[in-house]
Chain A
Amino acid sequence: MKKYDRNKMRQLFLGSKERRGILPTIALYVILIGLAFVFLYPLLYMIVNAFFSPDDLTNPSVTWIPTKLYFGNFVQAYYTLDFFRSFGMSVFLSVVPSLLQLISCSLVGFGLARFEFPLKKLWLVLVVATFMVPTLVLRIPRYLMYYYYGMLDTVLPTILPAAFGQGLRSTIFILIFFAFFSSYPQSFDEAASLDGANRFTIYRKVALPAASGAIVLCLLFSFVWYWNETSDLSLFAPNIFTLPQQLRMFSTKFSDLYGSEGAMAGGESVRTLNSSIELAGTMLSILPTVILYLVLQKQFVESVERSGITGE
């Protein structure tokens, strides 16, 4: 009787084959919460500090909880970021390249997966090899090329490479489409072509609908990566301001807008004042993608699971 109880307790706490016990469960949650805290600490810090009023910032007793909800930082950050215009530019420079990237990468993936042609191996190797070339090496000659064709400070340096399968990390998308299009049987194509479909129709009507997982992955990840791209943009189009670009120039823009006030206040208070406003600006600039992510979280995560990367 006693022994039986001990066994039962043991199972309850340490777990059995069928279910996890209480102790491992607690350990799991403690580790996960701890890790998630470290992952998200900068974001928590940002959210809290963005609501600090100037008084809270100078008050040493206020570290985590603001005394009142203060939205002044956001107002100033909103004007500094020129939010609506930058937001529109960000949307444009993320949606258009993502769609172009989707079209070009799926076409190339289809071509490589469904046809036999000379030098195919070479092109496949080169597709992978382009991923390994650091963007840094290509930056200067590309700059000169855009300069020569008068494309600097336009949206073309962002859009054109995407249209020709050389956008941000397009290798990944080409390979994923390649894997998707290689995995369905050739007889589908043959049946469609007996029905009189040409090859482009097969791509559009048979292949693409079967690759919805790859399409979702390509669109979501391209969007996010294009949204966050700044290093090429700041060289090729320094006067095109997306939200991250505005954030990069935040302090300059801020002193342009609020210059006289900044000069008047002077000293310690200006710097601390700026840190809260800067964080409010950071928060505003990442808010659109965060909202998108909260809505589409499941698609983001599951698109990777269904990407065929595991090679089933």
Chain B
Amino acid sequence: MSKNNKLNTGSTIQRRNAISGYLFLAPWLIGFALFVAYPLIHSIVLSLNEVLLGPDGIEYTWQGFFYFDHAWNNARDNFRGALTSQVSMICYMTPVILVFSLLIALLLNGKFKMRAFFRGAFFMPVIIMSGPTISKLLTQYTVNFSDGAPLLYDFLASLPAALSTPVQYVLDNLVLIFWFCGVQILIFLAGLQQVGSDLYEAASIDGAGAWEKFWKITLPHLSPLILISAVYTVIDVANYSRGAVVTMIDKHIFNQQYIYSYASAMSWIYFLAEALVLVAVLLIFKFFGRKATRE
């Protein structure tokens, strides 16, 4: 090997690069194997087998898709109901969070007095948002619109359910939705600051109004960040510790009858549902991205 050193300098450098690269990557590779890959496989095993905790370790008995079937079809636990409610929560909240964050970022993107104060106020919830804080602050003592604006609710009730359910949901959980916006607002603000003012000036000279500037300049510039925020939001809301599925799975981990297995099967169904939502998000962005470039 050392004889060919002169001829092979290129490949030696490559090899040394590869070794260094893997050395730097090593912590993550170990972590990935221990804390992600192995648990994922183990989780599949758990969901397909009956688990017996014996004195010599864990014993498995093959059960096939029994737990999946049980989770899906067992009416008592109503997992399907919880899944529907949590997935619709993700679907209602994500677009609202994105639109709110974008609006607030647009409002904050300028020079005016107390800008730093408002920016700080809107980011505040991120600092304190934990499961217990939310349950103490947002469930018992939140703003109740049904007392303040009964007319609004009468109007909503007259609409078809497909429309009124999401609106009602958003109104009922307005503060919670706001509290999920902090990081996204900052991402959009950072993005808005990157759009060059010369573009807006050129557009003004061509006679474009604020509305047109937003759709033709601001939005296309932000679209990669909107996608990032959308993915972040879906995952953030999906992991929300007080969601219907999350609490149900937590409750069933030590289920007397089907310890570990039942909850594992549920978590895999939930994983698939979340993956479907993410795929839908990507498809929506692809669709709009193509439409925008065609125009």
Interface residues of A (CB under 8 A from B): 17, 20, 25, 28, 31-32, 35-36, 38-43, 45-46, 49, 104, 107-108, 110-112, 114-118, 120, 123, 126-127, 130-145, 148, 160-161, 163-166, 174, 199, 203, 224, 227-231, 235, 244-245, 247-248, 250, 275, 278-279, 281-282, 285-286, 289-290, 292-293, 297-298, 300-301, 304-305, 307, 309-312
Supposing A117-B22, A309-B187 touch, asked if A244 and B124 sit within 8 A by C-beta, the answer is: no
Q: Contact partner of A163 among B27, B58, B178, CB < 8 A?
A: B27
**A133–B36 CB distance below 8 A:** yes
Q: Which of B39, B46, B118, B235 has the most CB of A within 10 A?
A: B39
Q: Contact partner of A140 among B110, B138, B187, B267, CB < 8 A?
A: B267
Supposing A163-B27, A248-B131 touch, asked if A116 and B14 sit within 8 A by C-beta, the answer is: yes
* Residues of chain B lying within 8 A (CB to CB) of residue A203: 24
Residues facing A in B128-143 (CB within 8 A) are 128-133, 135-138, 140-143
**B104–A164 CB distance below 8 A:** no
* Residues of chain B lying within 8 A (CB to CB) of residue A141: 38-40, 42-43, 46, 264
* 25 A-B residue pairs with CB within 8 Å: A42-B137, A42-B138, A45-B137, A108-B27, A115-B18, A123-B28, A130-B36, A132-B231, A132-B274, A136-B245, A137-B43, A137-B264, A138-B36, A145-B42, A164-B28, A166-B35, A199-B23, A244-B133, A248-B135, A289-B128, A292-B127, A301-B186, A304-B186, A310-B193, A310-B194
**A115–B191 CB distance below 8 A:** no
**A127–B260 CB distance below 8 A:** no
Q: Contact partner of B132 among A49, A120, A139, A247, CB < 8 A?
A: A247
Which residue from chain A places its CB closest to the CB of B253 in the assembled complex?
Answer: A140
**A231–B112 CB distance below 8 A:** no
**B39–A42 CB distance below 8 A:** no
Q: Contact partner of B136 among A137, A278, A298, CB < 8 A?
A: A278
**A144–B58 CB distance below 8 A:** yes
> From residue B242, how far is it (CB to closest CB) to chain A in Å?
10
> From residue B232, how far is it (CB to closest CB) to chain A in Å?
8
* Residues of chain A lying within 8 A (CB to CB) of residue B137: 42-43, 45-46, 282
* Residues of chain B lying within 8 A (CB to CB) of residue A137: 39-40, 43, 264, 267-268, 270-271
Q: Contact partner of A290 among B20, B119, B127, B238, CB < 8 A?
A: B127
* Residues of chain B lying within 8 A (CB to CB) of residue A112: 21, 24-25
Number of A-B contacts (CB under 8 A): 270
* Residues of chain B lying within 8 A (CB to CB) of residue A138: 35-36, 39-40, 43
What DSSP secondary structure best describes chain A's contact surface?
helix
> From residue B224, how far is it (CB to closest CB) to chain A in Å?
7
- Is residue B159 contacting chain A, with contact meaning CB distance below 8 A? no
- Is residue B161 contacting chain A, with contact meaning CB distance below 8 A? no
Q: Contact partner of A38 among B40, B108, B143, CB < 8 A?
A: B143
**A110→B264 CA distance, assembly (Å):** 35
* Residues of chain A lying within 8 A (CB to CB) of residue B39: 137-138, 141-142, 145
**A285–B133 CB distance below 8 A:** yes
Q: Contact partner of A39 among B130, B175, B183, B231, CB < 8 A?
A: B175
Supposing A38-B175, A118-B18 touch, asked if A282 and B133 sit within 8 A by C-beta, the answer is: yes
**A108→B20 CA distance, assembly (Å):** 11
Supposing A39-B124, A104-B31, A285-B133 touch, asked if A134 and B190 sit within 8 A by C-beta, the answer is: no
**A36–B133 CB distance below 8 A:** no
Which residue from chain B places its CB closest to the CB of A227 in the assembled complex?
Answer: B130
**B14–A111 CB distance below 8 A:** no
Supposing A42-B137, A140-B253, A285-B133 touch, asked if A104 and B194 sit within 8 A by C-beta, the answer is: no
